[in-house]
Amino acid sequence: MIMGSGIKAAPSIFAADFYSIGDAVAQIKKSGADGVHYDVMDNHFVPNISFGPKFIGDVASKCGLYGDAHLMIDLSRGIEPYLPLPVELITIHIEAYGDNPLSKPDRMIELLGSIRAAGKNAGISIKPATPADAVVPYLDKIDLVLVMSVEPGFSGQKFMPASLDKIRRIRELIGARQISVQVDGGVSRDNYKSLIGAGADFLVIGSAFFNDADPTGWMRDIHENA
Ligand code: DX5
Ligand code: ZN
């Protein structure tokens, strides 16, 4: 279980205005959010580029919240630059090993082991087209499953409702194991309660957080659902 029991929320800093990144971090801290979600994009696994280890190191070392690095990168080049970062969770995509999606569970398990050996929580993520049951080979090696509810690569996309059934199925597969279920993409005031009802216990919120008139009130509502 990540950060103990209860529902957690981490704003995605990728959705902030990078001109005022310090203000965005202060806004996240003030809101009472549990963590900061860092979206790393490499223009190979996803068609966009965000930021890399230096940005995460600079922000995470000073902000003092649970750091959650979501690596949307081709894993065939390794994840070494990310292992020493001052974050508590590193999540990798099971589809992201070279040009052979889903074909390298042994190598994925090695990478998950290296995340835990670095003293961090280890997460796996699945894209919208990847079936829930693809997480099965990893369930005894992870602390979190991240269900992508949009195609990874951009903030501000529309939530895909099929994610709700996927979350339910992943909860069934997890059974009694202490594994968090995180959801990322299009999470909003309109859908967050149904996501928690389906079994998500960790919400990533991008544009909806930074566009909200009262993010502190929203974070309070999320925690009161716990
Ligand atoms: C998309 C990222 C998300 C994104 C979420 O690839 O993984 O974390 O920033 O932004 P919203 O909540 O706007 O979809
Ligand atoms: Zn993300």
Which ligand is closest in space to the CA of residue 12? 1
Report pLDDT for 4.
82
Expressed in angstroms and rounded, the spacing between residue 37 Cα and the centre of ligand 1 is 9
Report pLDDT for 205.
99
User: Catalytic site residue 23?
Assistant: no
User: Catalytic site residue 184?
Assistant: yes
Among 44, 154, 190, say which to mutate for ligand 1: greatest number of ligand atoms within 8 Å of CB. Answer: 154
Report pLDDT for 174.
98
Among residues 68, 143, 184, 201, which one is catalytic? 184
Report pLDDT for 98.
60
Instruction: List strand residue ranges (DSSP E) for the chain, in order.
Output: 8-11, 35-41, 66-72, 89-93, 121-126, 144-148, 180-184, 202-205
Strand partners, 93: 125
Per-domain residue ranges for the chain? 8-224
Expressed in angstroms and rounded, the spacing between residue 27 Cα and the centre of ligand 2 is 19
Report pLDDT for 105.
83
pLDDT band at 1 (very low <50, low <70, confident <90, very high): low
Strand partners, 161: none
Does the domain formed by 8-224 have CATH 3.20.20.70? Answer: yes
For 61-102, write each residue's pLDDT tens digit: 999 999 999 999 999 889 999 999 999 999 999 998 765 655
- pTM (two decimals): 0.97
- Ligand 1 atom with least separation from CA of 157: 14
pLDDT band at 5 (very low <50, low <70, confident <90, very high): confident
